[in-house]
Amino acid sequence: MQDLIIGIDLGTTNSEVAIVENGQPRVIAIDGDPILPSVVGLSSDEKLLVGKPARNQYVLAPERTVKSVKRQMGLDLKIPLGAQQFRPQEVSAMILRRLKEAAEKDLGQPVHKAVITVPAYFNDSQRQATREAGQLAGLEVVRILNEPTAAALTYRPNPDTNEKFLVYDLGGGTFDVSIVQAEGGVFEVLSSHGDTQLGGDDFDELLLNHIADEFQELYQIDLRVNLTTKARLLRAVENAKKTLSDHAFARIEEEFIAEKDGVPLHLTKELERSTFEQLIDPLLRRTMDCLQKALDDAKINASDLKQVVLVGGSTRSPVISRLLEARLGQPAHREVHPDLCVAMGAAIQAAIIAGSDVGAVLVDITPHSVGIKSLEVPDSFSRQFNEYKFAPIVPRNTPLPTSRSEIFCTVSDNQAKVDIDIFQGESGDVRRNHRVGKFLIEGLARVPAGNQLVVQMELTLDGTLKVTAREKATGLMKNIVIDNAMARFAVEEKDAAQSRLDRMWAESEWTEGDDEPIDPAKLADLLGSEPGAYDDDEEDDDDDEGYEKFPVPEPEEDAAAPRFQFPVDAGATTGQREAVQARALLEKAERVGAKANSEDRAELGRLTAKVKAALDERRWPDLQSTSNALADVLFYLEDA
């Protein structure tokens, strides 16, 4: 009988375990989730917690919880956990043991051997500590494998050629970039550079400081002082960061976050993706410096690279693919799930050691970018608008299912309607792409230019595309569902996608073992789809009214109302945007107020006075909070 060897990605933030079955790597679920947070804790009654329960208690009991132990591996120190002290290997062993037991439960047999991955830059003592952790967990570590090699293994190169990969790995706590050479099935790391103190945790910290500084300015209270409040805020900003990977805005809402003069204070904040990208820009520049060093050390140019591979949860932020493509002149691959590909590669290496056959990893992706026609304003002096600019919303090679949104603005004052013209393709000019559908959203608020529309695209595994356009200030919404959007792809592409899909589907519905199967909602979330992440309007999902099946009739042209919109980043300043929203809300308040009872009218009067004052005095943060309060009341009154 062949050896049973599991592959383990022992990550700073998360860990995974995988196995190759029927030539395909499969990530094993742990309590229904493919990802185990690399967090260890002791409960209040001294019980050991590993994974999610430990991560959940971090907010309440940071002193009884250990995160990011990977950063301490190989160091001669003790880590306090409650009243006890542990070596880093011991803490890592607890994580490994949890993974081993999940694999045994899933496979229905004992597991004694593993391939464990480590960063390419790990030194001997860090590798040795990892081996010891494995032994402590009851595992013989048959190979310590470099993480970039594992990632490259999932993008199986042609064994007959010499191919070079650049693996850009940005996780929670660490960053590294490696050049991996594959020749005749043999992988070699030619160079590797990194920063052991740079990752998604630092992005969270920057966001946290940004929000805490703003809150402090408004209320003179520092949310970072109280450990529990800080942990709560940290979790909120991390969620917002993840939302921003697929959507142009994210809302942070934390009730009773602080108290002032006996009055509870709530935190409500809308974050723009562009703000986040500006905040993390200096850190991303550092990663680009490392990338250049890795290329120099391997003595190659960007043009020598066969593939650019993304690894690590933080590479889901779209700014990273953008920067890499601009720097390296080719799109980065993220078809294999960036959080899972190292574990899958470890499983592939394990299968190779065990003498099993491994096939190419199959994934389902969108083969073309999908987006809308927009208006580009070249610069503030020229009036040469480009009317045919393609604004992609779902980029090519995005794993399915997916849900993404972007914000666009009207360009004329009192613009009452906008065409949403949907295209797929890679050209920046829509005339060279393929039109998929079109619809019109009418009845927009009569406000100055800069009125924001959220355009959301949901693309399912079976190729159905749903496009929703929503006026941000009022919630006015219209959508279109295009069946078989994938049928427009080349036939061979569709066939390949179909067989990949069938296979993925069959595998995801496994029933072996009695561990819970992966929760479909979690899987969708993991695959980048966040249904409803931005649809805070309940009517959105289950209301078929307002749906239009493609094809829709051509809308009538309105000479007075230009049809175009442009991405928000290219246009209005922050103040303008807030002003547009506020004016739309004031207009709506007038309409709703006319029908409201005297008590509600008085409340509306009080709030609209505050909004008007903030608007007149151009106090933008105040305008945003008062507008939010007004929007809440309007929402309630409209619903009543």
Applying CB under 6 A, the residues found at the interface with ligand AMP are: 11-14, 171-172, 199-201, 238, 241-242, 245, 312-314, 316-317, 339
Q: Which is nearer to ligand AMP, 126 or 317 (CB)?
A: 317
Active-site residue, selected from the candidate residues 16, 33, 67, 70 = 70
Instruction: List phi, psi (to 5°) of 567.
Output: -60, 140
Name, in order, each residue with C-beta under 8 angstroms of 26's C-beta and a sequence gap of 6 or more.
Answer: 18, 19, 20, 347, 507, 510
Asked if residues 441 and 417 have their Cβ atoms less than 8 Å apart, the reply is yes
Cβ–Cβ < 8 Å for 129, 154:
no
Contact in structure between 401 and 508 (CB atoms under 8 Å): no
Return the ∠ at Cα 87 (arms to 86 and 92), rounded to 5°.
95
- Sort strands 24-27 and 14-21 into parallel, antiparallel or unpaired: antiparallel
Q: How far apart are CA 199 and CA 283, in angstroms?
A: 9
- CA dist 178 and 181 (Å) reads 10
Provide the 3-class DSSP secondary structure of residue 212: helix
Alpha-carbon distance of 406 to 247, in angstroms, equals 6
Reply yes or no on whether 537 is catalytic: no
For 366-380, give the DSSP string: -SS-EEEEEEE---S
For 496, how many CA atoms within 13 A lie in the half-sphere containing its CB? 13
Cβ at position 590, least distance to ligand AMP in Å: 40
Q: Active site includes 70? A: yes
Catalytic-residue membership of 147: yes
What contacts 588, CB < 8 A, 6 or more positions away? 445, 473, 474, 634
CB-nearer residue toward ligand AMP: 66 or 582:
66
Helical pair 598-616 and 620-639, crossing angle rounded to 10 deg: 160
The token duo for 66 is 């250990």
Q: Under a CB-based contact definition with an 8 Å cutoff, are residues 423 and 373 in contact?
A: yes
Our CB check for ligand AMP shows the closer of 313 and 345 to be 313
- Match 């928000």 to its residue by tokens: 568
Q: Which is nearer to ligand AMP, 132 or 201 (by Cβ)?
A: 201
222 is catalytic: no
Say if strands 113-118 and 5-10 run parallel, antiparallel, or are unpaired: parallel
- Among candidate residues 169, 176, 254, 578, the one labeled active-site is 169
- Residues marked active site are found at 9, 70, 147, 169
